[in-house]
A and B are shown apart, each in its own frame.
Chain A
Amino acid sequence: MNTDITRASAASLADLLARGEVSSTEVVQAHLDRIGAVDGDVHAFLHVDGEGALAAAADVDRRRAAGEDLHVLAGVPIAVKDVMATKGMPTTCGSRILQGWVPPYDATLVTKLREAGLPILGKTNMDEFAMGSSTEHSAYGPTHNPWDLDRIPGGSGGGSSAAVAAYEAPLAIGTDTGGSIRQPGAVTGTVGVKPTYGGVSRYGLVALASSLDQAGPVTRTVLDAALLHSVIGGHDPMDSTSIDAPVPPVVEAARRADVKGLKVGVIKELGGEGYQAGVRARFDEAVALLEGAGAEVVEVSAPSFDYALAAYYLILPSEASSNLAKFDAMRYGLRVLPEGVSDPSAEQVMAATRDAGFGDEVKRRIILGTYALSSGYYDAYYGQAQKVRRLIANDFAKAFEQVDVLVSPTSPTTAFKLGDKLQDPMSMYLQDVATIPANLAGVPGMSLPSGLADEDGLPTGIQVLAPATKDERLYGVGAALEAMLLEKWGGPLLAKAPELGVKGA
């Protein structure tokens, strides 16, 4: 089998499959082989379902042979973040408290993947309950960045970004509550999209912060992200916050890839102090390319963004402390009996289980949220954070009166070393400073590679933001910029990543 099959984009795999030049079984097997060869070092996967993926592939091959009308991505394999419920496949959310839990149902997004005929390769690693920016808070050990195995792949969806960057999967699903799709994309040289809040169903997405969570595509190209977006997007009666409207024309926008006459706003508050020089340099060059392609670039101020991180780290823990109350050791998940207590009460069992089952970061945020919501402090913390959230949404609204899209660097730094920020939660939180405002306001955002930082040779990302439900604008800008950057680099950025050592070859 051609080894290049794992290097191909999802769009070109779809073409090869449609023309019968390759079978889905061959494509899935090639990716399973790649996982077997490199995932010992990368650790992108918590669970690999070779049997299930091959069965789904064989089914697609059989239907294609029978002349059935198939979805364009039918037969193209995908990896799914371990926060999405998958029937018959473990779903742990990177937590000990859900070790071995096999959901009795599929998330709507997973149902859509299965219906479109995308074989699911397995479940990807993540920070526990999506709390973190490095995957180091996974109870099952961190994922390693394929660009440098001693560095973080971003988080919380570092498993998905690393799987795609290491050619273990052409497509992956991520979830983004404060940047967990976009920041991993930036630090691994891949593409990640957080759709408009409500654009993709949250049914079966184990909730971190319900008013912020949104699932989306993790890919190597903008067009692939658009193709995947159109599979998973759309209204779902099972999610009361799902937008009842068709999926925005994302694939068309990605194919058009045009920015002529488009107004692009550079966000003044995101990109100055605290941003690594190489991140800023690649961002400035990318903006210049857009300008060269006919976009009109202006600076836009969003003064309330300076308070976004603070508001987010009150709103998120508050919602999380409430959402995670369901892990009570009664109906599913871990149950631990307290030591030295004969005939313990339900309450004692609950407290012992939550101590044993949750990791440090989850405990920190639950306690912080409990505090922010507690009587006497509610107004000063959670209430005030909600008001700041309104101001941030107002800043977006004002900005989008002047421009069509906003841009900023995705992450203030390139990938840092594993362990570097574990003892300092605040410095970890700062990784999300540029991505958080979009979640607070519910607007869509994309990160795509902008180059390599001069100082460390590691990938940098540029973020594009659009008004709510105008997701197609991300793809138009992203695809145009991607094409110009590819021409400049002479190929995809990932081609510059070091080859991973291959086991058992």
Chain B
Amino acid sequence: MSALSRDDVAHLAGLARIDLSDAELDRMVGELGVILESVAKVQEVAADDIEPMSHPLPITNVTRPDEVRPSLGAEVALAMAPAQEQERFSVPRILAED
């Protein structure tokens, strides 16, 4: 496993939508390197024939009767929004200008 470069971390931060400062990037490269080196220990385990486990319990799909039940009204749902307009969440532009 090759160590993470500063560019790798910047790319990952972009994927995760976190606008890291240069100072944060510098610090994070070293810290993540140490952590990754340690967690890479899982690769020492011979587990080719082991079934991966994503959840502690056997999961079955759960459904409920398809009946209308009370839900939050627009006013309550929007009460904590950073911005709202015409009973809707108001968000910054989604598309690029050109």
Q: Which residues of chain A have a CB within 8 Å of any CB of chain B?
A: 101-102, 104-105, 197-198, 211-212, 237, 240-241, 243, 304, 307, 309-311, 313-314, 321, 325, 328-335, 338, 343-352, 354-355, 358, 360, 363-364, 366-368, 370-371, 374, 380-381, 383-391, 393, 425-426, 429, 440-443, 468
Size band of the interface chain B makes with A: 35 or more
* Chain A residue with Cβ nearest B78: A331
* Chain B residue with Cβ nearest A390: B53
A interface SS class: helix
User: B1-27, CB under 8 A of A: which get 1 and which 0?
Assistant: 100100011001111111111001001
- Known: A243-B57, A345-B96. Is A334-B18 also a contact (CB below 8 A)? no
Could you tell me which residues of chain B, from 32 to 80, have a CB within 8 Å of some CB in chain A?
32, 34-36, 38-45, 47, 50-57, 59, 61-62, 64, 72, 76-77, 79-80
Q: Are B50 and A391 in contact (CB under 8 A)?
A: yes
- Known: A332-B80, A345-B92, A441-B56. Is A388-B19 also a contact (CB below 8 A)? no
Q: Are B31 and A387 in contact (CB under 8 A)?
A: no
B interface SS class: loop
- Known: A310-B39, A345-B93, A355-B21. Is A104-B57 also a contact (CB below 8 A)? no
- Known: A364-B28, A368-B36. Is A354-B43 also a contact (CB below 8 A)? no
Rank and list the top 8 A-B pairs by shortest CB-CB distance, nearest first.
A442-B56, A386-B52, A335-B82, A387-B47, A351-B19, A390-B53, A310-B41, A240-B62
Q: Are B53 and A104 in contact (CB under 8 A)?
A: no
Residues of B within 8 A of A346 (CB): 91-94
- Tally of A-B Cβ pairs under 8 angstroms: 181
Write 5 A-B pairs (CB below 8 A) sorted by A numbering.
A307-B42, A351-B19, A370-B15, A374-B12, A387-B51
Q: Are B53 and A387 in contact (CB under 8 A)?
A: yes
Q: Are A380 and B56 in contact (CB under 8 A)?
A: no
Closest chain B CB from A354 CB (angstroms): 5
- Known: A366-B18, A368-B35. Is A349-B59 also a contact (CB below 8 A)? no
Q: Are A334 and B56 in contact (CB under 8 A)?
A: no
CA distance A333 to B83 in the complex (A): 10
Residues of B within 8 A of A390 (CB): 47, 50-53
Q: Are A364 and B32 in contact (CB under 8 A)?
A: yes
User: Residue A332 contacts which of B45, B51, B81 (CB distance < 8 angstroms)?
Assistant: B81
User: Residue B45 contacts which of A241, A350, A368, A384 (CB distance < 8 angstroms)?
Assistant: A384
User: Residue A383 contacts which of B15, B52, B82, B96 (CB distance < 8 angstroms)?
Assistant: B52
Q: Are B92 and A349 in contact (CB under 8 A)?
A: yes
Residues of B within 8 A of A349 (CB): 92
* Chain B residue with Cβ nearest A240: B62
CA distance A426 to B39 in the complex (A): 10
Beyond the given pairs A331-B80, A345-B92, A390-B47, 7 more chain A to chain B contacts, judged by CB atoms under 8 angstroms and listed by A's residue number, are A198-B57, A241-B55, A241-B57, A333-B80, A335-B83, A354-B17, A388-B45
Q: Are A367 and B42 in contact (CB under 8 A)?
A: no
Q: Are A211 and B18 in contact (CB under 8 A)?
A: no
CA distance A349 to B57 in the complex (A): 38
- Known: A313-B38, A335-B82. Is A330-B91 also a contact (CB below 8 A)? yes
CA distance A197 to B79 in the complex (A): 33
Q: Are A374 and B15 in contact (CB under 8 A)?
A: yes
- Known: A241-B57, A390-B52, A441-B56. Is A426-B32 also a contact (CB below 8 A)? no
Q: Are B18 and A307 in contact (CB under 8 A)?
A: no
Q: Are B17 and A347 in contact (CB under 8 A)?
A: yes
Q: Are B39 and A355 in contact (CB under 8 A)?
A: no
Q: Are B16 and A352 in contact (CB under 8 A)?
A: no
User: Residue A367 contacts which of B16, B21, B34, B53 (CB distance < 8 angstroms)?
Assistant: B16
Q: Are B76 and A197 in contact (CB under 8 A)?
A: no
Residues of A within 8 A of B92 (CB): 343-346, 348-349
